[in-house]
Amino acid sequence: MSNGHLVKIEDARKNYGSLAALDGLSLTIEPGQFMVLLGPSGSGKSTLIRSLAGIEKFDAGSIFLDENQVNRGPVNVAPEKRNLAMVFQDYALWPHLSAFENIEYALQRRKLPKDISKQKVNAALNRVGLSSKGKNYPHELSGGEQQRVALARAIVADPALLLFDEPLSNLDADLRERLRIEISTLTREIGATALYITHDQSEAFALADRIGVINHGKLEQVDLPEVIYERPINRFVANFTGIAGTFTGQVKQVLKASCIVALGEDQLEVRHTVGLEVGQSVDVLIRPAATSFQNESENRIGAEITDIAYRGRGYEHAITTKYGTLTGVFDTRSHARGGTISVSIDPDRCIAFRSETK
Amino acid sequence: MQKVEPSRDSFSSRALLFVRTKISPMTLFWLVIISILVLPIILFLAVAFSPKLLDQGPEWFTFNSFKAAADPYFLQSIWHSFVMGVVSSLLATAIALGVAWIVLRTNSAARKVWSLAIFALLLAPSYLIALGWERIFERAGVLNIAGIDLPFIRDLLYGPVGIAMILTFKGIPFAYLVISNAMRGLGEEFEQAVRVHGGSRIAAFKMMSTLLLPALWSGIAIVFAESISDFGVASQLSSPGRYSVATFTLYRSVMSLPVSFPLCAAISIILLMLIILALFAQSRALRGRSFRVLSGRTRPITRKKLSKTGAFSANTAIYGLLFVTLGIPVFGAISASMIQGLGTVLANYQFNFDNYFRVIKSPLLRAPLLFSAEAALITATVAVILAAISSRLLVSTKNGLGKKFLDFFLLAAVGLPGIVFAIGYIFAYNLPLAQKYGFHLYGTVTLLVLAYIATALPSTTRSLVGNMNQFQESLSEACRVHGSNGIKTWLTVVLPLISRPLLAAWCLTYCGTLLELPVSQILFPPGHAPLAVGIDHALGNYDFGGGTAMEVFAIISALLVVAVAFGLYEKLAPIGWKQLGRARS
């Protein structure tokens, strides 16, 4: 059974002057669930997580942790009484305390006997691979080690809710990947509900049980990662969760779950969104995973290789077609720059939306 | 599993809000601020517009006092004060920046001497520094006795150059404390970033100065306000015939009969406007910027190893500065305390320690020192607590009404000369209304200490603002989300992180209060003469030796207190506290 809070946010609103940071946002996170909020800078995700922590207050709207409303009018349950912990973007390690003391601090609220407390801190240090660094002060630790201490501090008291405020954004790619795995496993081990905010879609898909895509203070879509990726509800969600490129064309024929889109001389079969009609102008958003250099499909167009990037398990190519550029086209072998090639498009992984260009 | 607090119904929410409003620590803080700072200032300033309100004239509302203040004599003295404020604040801040760099960023041998001497300089009231210079260069002064007469320097001393010089000397430690505290929190990565991107040493210094801008502006604002409201230098070097400044003309107005309190209030308001203009300029220059650079990721700096020429220049600069700011005044004070009859026709110029033995033996000379030490201890402790809260409020990102209100009154208190601030206290606490509600504070030690706290609060707060500006908000937010309430957050994180600046502020306030003159003179209760009043009485009774010996004792005792305070800090404070802002050798 999960130890986590059931988190409910209802109709949250928050303005900074004339700017609406949160605009009627509602969200439910089940106990023990790892929810990732994905959105661009200024979309309201930081305001949401800080309000949930109790550091900021909504102008209107409610927060329930389990059955308890923690904000009502001017009365706000203090952060320390919400039984949560948070990992900050800048780590927020107290520079006058050692790594051990930083972690021990978060355990004080449990009022444990000294020896048990010490055991727990050592266990937390051990869990994040820093058992030999307990006496070090923050400035004596690397960035990755500092973030590990912050993670240990967050989990040591077994909180019911863990909040992550873009914790990996200051780290290099390799460290980010390793710490991502640690965050994922440790959070699930302690059974806490987790809310993680990021603008990095790969981080979101790797971590989440469920993803919420947020924009302009509103939730655009909340669902399983697979659904968000495969069935984005609108153009913003599709765009923000990763596309190889966009082509503009006209609907030639509407089928049951797909449609045929004419792109100049070529035509592509793509999955359609609701309400498309023949003759309508559409934007076709193509996922990187939809593209391939294999020739087994008839759904393909000609292209020129403009760039190659080696990715260890193979190569990612940037290609230019008559209708636009596609990036992240993967193949296990490289194709020379400037060469012409035919690229196959998987109809199920590209989506047609009504065109925004007139 | 620990659960979140149960929700409250609307009734209990209201009740909780009511209780919080009634008894929260912040409510208590505001009550104290209003009582010791706001009411006395408002009541005194109101006299300028409404003399009848406080029985100082027949009119309920009038600008007559401002018309009187527009007299060319007053206007000229106000202009002189402004010029002195600008010159001394810019000079003091520029010198303090250079000194801070030498002391904190280089291996100059003089840095250790400076770190000790700074408190002596802070401790010395401006009138003592001025007196020391006078004693050397005056007619029948020390140089005269040695057969040297320098009338040119004497003429400069008793004029704008002398006043600006002493005000600059007095301003340097204030600016230095603010800048050095900010510089301690500034890791060297910013300078390194300039150098690796092609910047010269000068470019790196410029970058550091930019990051220090909040502290530099604070330094300028503090020194400007201190200079404009200073009375000590004015009382020694200003005169109507030569170069009169506003506090001197104000003093003459208060001392001449009949006293025109509305006129004094009007002049004070004009001085206040000057300071507000300076602060407005500060705010415009910064345009709301503050650089939050103190965090868990800040790395200690490495001291620059100076070349032989560099070390010689740095040491000469520091020792030269110490000579003119401290050496000459100290020599003046010590010579006066040891030479019998200096400057009189009966002079025999004998050197002995008789005056010091008299201070130790005579209760009349000893009691003021002990009384002031006790009052300074209480004042410094309370003022630092209030200043820590005030500075945190002032740097808060929330631009609320309370912040603006506090900012204004702290500035107003800086701008008000001590002597008129003390008169404001008499007005506020001697009013029939205060008596009716049981505030029988007039003529008590309590009122004197409250006035000390109120006068110390503005500069103590300003000295902490630079550090608070560097304090990253996420550090205290992390405390709250990890289980600490507001008070525990303060005790376990905020205070430790600013513990060294707090200690410096405490020492500064202690030293300032020990020799405080204007408030002491106006508000001292019978039988409890503070040190400055005791010295004044001794000098008034032509006991120059006893008076100056008391000064020397006071300075030595204050230095001892500072040494003990820092010694205890180094001995008792946890390692984590001490390593903050410490440079690697």
Fold (CATH) for A7-238? Rossmann fold (3.40.50)
Helices (H), chain A: 45-53, 99-107, 114-127, 143-155, 173-190, 201-207, 225-230, 235-240
Residues of chain A found within 8 Å of residue B486, distances taken between Cβ atoms: 78
| Shortest CA gap A24–chain B (Å) | 22
The secondary element (H helix, E strand) that includes residue A218 is strand A218-223
Nearest to B509 by CA among B407, B372, B330: B372
Which homologous superfamily does the CATH classification assign to the domain defined by B25-52+64-578?
MetI-like (1.10.3720.10)
Q: Do A5 and B492 touch (CB under 8 A)?
A: no
Q: Which of B3, B8, B493 sits opposite A66 (nearest CB)?
A: B3
B400 in contact with A at a CB cutoff of 8 Å?
A: no
Query: What is the reported pLDDT for B289?
Result: 52
Q: Which of A77, A95, A105 sits opposite B580 (nearest CB)?
A: A95
Nearest to B324 by CA among B216, B147, B178, B172: B172
Q: What are B268-309's pLDDT values in tens digits?
A: 888 878 877 777 777 766 655 555 544 555 555 667 778 888
Q: Do A143 and B297 touch (CB under 8 A)?
A: yes
| Shortest CA gap B256–chain A (Å) | 54
Contact B4, A68 (CB under 8 A): yes
Query: What is the reported pLDDT for A99?
Result: 94
When scoring A94, A104, A142, A190 by the number of chain B Cβ atoms within 10 A, the one with the most, hence best to mutate, is A94
The pTM of the whole model exceeds 0.90: no
Q: Is the pLDDT of residue B20 over 60?
A: no
Residues of chain B found within 8 Å of residue A7, distances taken between Cβ atoms: none
| Shortest CA gap A139–chain B (Å) | 5
Q: Which of A70, A106, A158 sits opposite B4 (nearest CB)?
A: A70
- Place B382 in a pLDDT band, splitting at 50, 70 and 90: very high
Query: What is the reported pLDDT for B10?
Result: 41
CA quadruple B147, B152, B156, B162: dihedral sign: negative
Q: What are B497-512's pLDDT values in tens digits?
A: 888 889 989 998 998 8
User: Cα(A29)–Cα(A7) distance, rounded to whole angstroms?
Assistant: 5
Q: Do B299 and A79 touch (CB under 8 A)?
A: no
What is the arithmetic mean of pLDDT over A232-247?
90
Q: Is the pLDDT of residue B340 over 80?
A: no
Residue A40, φ and ψ in degrees, nearest 5:
-75, 170
| Shortest CA gap A247–chain B (Å) | 42
A44: phi > 0 → left, psi -120 to 50 → alpha, else beta; which? Answer: left
Q: Is the pLDDT of residue A216 over 90?
A: yes
User: Cα(A57)–Cα(A51) distance, rounded to whole angstroms?
Assistant: 5
| Shortest CA gap B215–chain A (Å) | 21
User: Cα(B244)–Cα(B253) distance, rounded to whole angstroms?
Assistant: 13
Token pair of A239 as six digits:
């765009």
ipTM over 0.85: no
Query: What is the reported pLDDT for B7?
Result: 42
| Shortest CA gap A14–chain B (Å) | 15
Residues of chain B found within 8 Å of residue A74, distances taken between Cβ atoms: 13, 17
Q: Is the pLDDT of residue B16 over 50?
A: no
Query: What is the reported pLDDT for B585?
Result: 44
Query: What is the reported pLDDT for A295?
Result: 73
C-alpha triplet B539, B543, B549: angle, nearest 5°: 85
Query: What is the reported pLDDT for B174?
Result: 86
Q: What are B191-201's pLDDT values in tens digits?
A: 766 666 666 77
Q: Please state, for a pLDDT cut of 90, what percent of chain A lies above it.
A: 48
Q: Is A194 helix (H, G, I), strand (E, B) or coil?
A: strand
- Place B23 in a pLDDT band, splitting at 50, 70 and 90: low
Q: Do A106 and B483 touch (CB under 8 A)?
A: yes
Residue A16, φ and ψ in degrees, nearest 5:
-110, 100
Question: B4: nearest CA in chain A?
Answer: A82
Q: Is the pLDDT of residue A291 over 70?
A: yes
User: Cα(B120)–Cα(B100) distance, rounded to whole angstroms?
Assistant: 17
Query: What is the reported pLDDT for A325?
Result: 93
Higher pLDDT, B106 or B135: B106
All structural domains of chain A with their residue ranges: 7-238, 244-354
Q: What are B531-573's pLDDT values in tens digits?
A: 888 887 876 676 777 777 888 888 888 889 989 999 999 898 8
Q: Which of A66, A72, A85 sits opposite B482 (nearest CB)?
A: A85
Q: Is the pLDDT of residue A153 over 80?
A: yes
Q: Do A153 and B482 touch (CB under 8 A)?
A: yes
Higher pLDDT, A358 or B120: B120
